[in-house]
Structure 1
Amino acid sequence: MQDPYQLLNVDRKASQEDIKRAYRKLAKELHPDINPGNEAVEQKFKEISQAYSILGDAEKRQRFDKGEIDASGQETPFKGGFYRNHAGTKRGAKYNPFDFGEDISADDIFADLFGARNRRVRRPGANVSYTVPITFLEAAKGAKKRIKLADGKTLDVRIPPGTEDRQTLRLKGQGMPGVGGGPAGDALVEAHIQPHPFFERKGNNVHVELPVTLQEAVLGATVTVPTVHGSVSMKIPAGSNSGSTLRLKGKGIKARDGDEIGDQYVKLKVMLPERPDQELRDFIENWSRSHDYDPRRKAGLT
């Protein structure tokens, strides 16, 4: 897998804010919603999203720089065949291939193996941590993602609707094998949600900024608006201002712990033509002679 710094086109000394800006710029250009049916662009979007799941998290970035995880976010195998396991070790402790936990030492293991003790040690296996990058829409609506386990096997993980960023999903019995017949540990999968080019989540509500034309704002119109559930029609009242916010009830994200569904808030952004023609300029000039108004004074800015 390609180096995440190269994928995002950032220097290894780039700040977290620089990395975020670089990802957002690429995401807007490569997002599948903007390039429907283009498989090459979709694959590139997946690659930059994976890269951002590593570099966008300061802790994961530090671990990648140290070689503790690879470009896919998975643990790097230790030379002795053991895996670094941050979920199962003491907080802040460094990885030790002969650290079998608080209640058992390496001597206990070797003594049991060579028959120096009659007692049999039975201990659960350690938990193993993974990260999985998911898109904004996958987190909102639910999805299945495939991860590669420490033993090389693959596993399909169900991402529940309403999953939040950095939420940890527990896969029972998918961690390291137990000792002395003990049960296997669990796999702890942390979901990393990639920013969306125009959707933003706040609680269970979704916010989006919608560009509208001058005539749509002045005269009113019915326009098509994207939501996490698909596009819907929305009526813009005549005389709407830039910054006006309209609500689409029930078009947000379903709560993880209930049936409640949030709303979508659409903030209007009135846009002039890229190149206003002379007719529009003449009209505004004539209109302004008899319709003087000062919005800054009303807002207390003058």
Structure 2
Amino acid sequence: MKKNLYSILGIPKSSDLSEIKKAYYKLAKQYHPDSNPSPNSKQKFEEITEAYEVLSDDSKRKLYDSCGYSDDATENEEQYEGDTFEAKEKTASGGKGFSKKRNRYHDYEEVFQDFDSFFEQKMKQKARPPTRGADIHYILDLEFLESLTDNVQKAIQFERKCLCPQCKGTRAQQGTMPQRCYSCGGSGTILIRNNSAFASTSINEQMCTECDGYGKVVKNKCQICTGQGFITQTVKENIKIPKGVKSDQVLRKESCGNVGEQGGKNGDLFIKLKVKDHPYYSRNGNNILSDCKVSISQAILGGRVKVETIHGCVEIDIPSGTNDGDVKKLSNLGVAKDNSRYRGDHILTFKIQIPTVLTQEQKNIFEQLKLLDCLTEEKPFDTSNLQY
């Protein structure tokens, strides 16, 4: 075995938990790197912490004690040498392998090699590594014309987790600092031994419940954040809306989400846009769609009408003989393509308006038109005089 944990703490094997704690506190204070400038203080402090982690936990201590540790290292060495000699004798005489005593010692050696390797890695680990803050998702309603206009800014308001202005994330009351957790030695985790009747003993690592994985214990909690390290605030952000955005498009503001933990990066703010319907316009890609109402006389005779577009009012020609549902394309009067100078089109659909209430004069005119329709109506082809 490489290390005698009892010797490291300077206590006998029969020491109880209070004696173990007393010895640890005394040595930890003496060899803490912050108060001891000796170049070996850090290594000594890690050894002390390692020993305390094992001996202060009943399950880990029993596992340690059950692995055949002897206070007399010489005895172990003699046993080992004897086993080796015995093995050599068996090999020379045609026997197989080492004796049971040798194998048992070899198993113990492997166990403590695993212990040493585990603790060396564990002491290098940091409790609660930096964690990125959670993202915030917000839905923003936009008017139809706002989505097509340049330099539009919208003010939004939402709740966000922010770093506590009092303790700056330390979780401790102002003027105090968190103390290293004695249960886990500052690693944020503890070892749990699992025994099985069908498998060998295993050691699992779990989060320390004393410090919640932080590696430090706060005795005097910050009164502002109640020891959480952050507070929830209602904040406002001005969001610049790019020209030509579409419904369900998502904007991202980096690092405007919830604050990260243990110095981790803040999350992001994601704004999902919802463009409202317009009573006159609709959109298909970069094209703007709208209806153009025309009277019966305009549909028959043609004419000129004014049409509202997103770029202003324009005057267009209505072809004579226009039918209901005919379309007309107004080129380059749609939405800009990817903020370039090229734009989509404005597509007009003609809708002929049929009057439901007529004046007497209008009725007379339509009666005359009806009479003219009858006079000009083509007669069916007479087949009575055809000879076959």
1:127 lines up with 2:127 in the alignment = no
1:146 lines up with 2:155 in the alignment = yes
* Cα contact 1:204–1:252 (8 A) shared by 2: yes
2:368 to 280, 283, 289: 283
Query: What is the TM-score when the length of structure 1 is the normalising length?
Result: 0.55
Q: Report the equivalent of 1:228.
A: 310
Q: Report the equivalent of 1:197.
A: 279
Whole-Å separation in 2 of the counterparts to 1:222 and 1:242: 16
Q: Report the equivalent of 1:265.
A: 347
Q: Report the equivalent of 2:329.
A: 247
* Cα contact 2:243–2:339 (8 A) shared by 1: no
**1:291/1:176 CA distance change after superposition, 3 Å:** farther
Q: Deviations over 1:226-284 (max 9, x none)?
A: 11222221111222221111111111111236443100010111112331332233122
Bigger CA radius of gyration: 2
Whole-Å separation in 1 of the counterparts to 2:286 and 2:293: 23
Cα shift at 1:140: 2.0
1:214 lines up with 2:296 in the alignment = yes
Structure 2 gap segments, 5+ residues each? 1-124, 160-232, 379-388
* Cα contact 1:209–1:269 (8 A) shared by 2: yes
Q: Deviations over 1:165-196 (max 9, x none)?
A: 10000011211011112221111000001111
User: 3-state SS of the aligned residue for 1:282?
Assistant: helix
Aligned residues: 177
User: 3-state SS of the aligned residue for 1:226?
Assistant: strand
User: 3-state SS of the aligned residue for 1:269?
Assistant: strand
Query: What is the TM-score when the length of structure 2 is the normalising length?
Result: 0.43
Which 4+ stretches in 1 moved above 4 angstroms? none
Whole-Å separation in 2 of the counterparts to 1:149 and 1:283: 68
Whole-Å separation in 1 of the counterparts to 2:153 and 2:126: 47
User: 3-state SS of the aligned residue for 1:149?
Assistant: strand
Which of 1 and 2 has higher RCO (CA within 8 Å, sep 6+)? 2
User: 3-state SS of the aligned residue for 1:152?
Assistant: strand
User: 3-state SS of the aligned residue for 1:154?
Assistant: strand
Letter in 2 for 1:289: C
Structure 1 gap segments, 5+ residues each? 1-116, 294-302
**1:139/1:121 CA distance change after superposition, 3 Å:** same
**1:123/1:258 CA distance change after superposition, 3 Å:** farther
1:159 lines up with 2:168 in the alignment = no
User: 3-state SS of the aligned residue for 2:373?
Assistant: helix
Q: What percent of counterpart residues are identical?
A: 27
Whole-Å separation in 1 of the counterparts to 2:264 and 2:236: 23
**1:177/1:291 CA distance change after superposition, 3 Å:** farther
User: 3-state SS of the aligned residue for 1:215?
Assistant: helix
User: 3-state SS of the aligned residue for 1:122?
Assistant: coil
Q: Report the equivalent of 2:144.
A: 136
**1:273/1:185 CA distance change after superposition, 3 Å:** same
* Cα contact 1:164–1:191 (8 A) shared by 2: yes
**1:267/1:291 CA distance change after superposition, 3 Å:** farther
* Cα contact 1:200–1:208 (8 A) shared by 2: yes
Q: Deviations over 1:205-234 (max 9, x none)?
A: 111111111122222222111112222211
Letter in 1 for 2:245: T
Whole-Å separation in 2 of the counterparts to 1:118 and 1:190: 37
Q: Report the equivalent of 1:171.
A: 253
* Cα contact 1:162–1:253 (8 A) shared by 2: yes
**1:182/1:284 CA distance change after superposition, 3 Å:** same
* Cα contact 1:163–1:256 (8 A) shared by 2: no
* Cα contact 1:136–1:193 (8 A) shared by 2: yes
Whole-Å separation in 2 of the counterparts to 1:280 and 1:155: 64
* Cα contact 1:225–1:232 (8 A) shared by 2: yes
User: 3-state SS of the aligned residue for 2:131?
Assistant: coil
Whole-Å separation in 2 of the counterparts to 1:256 and 1:145: 21
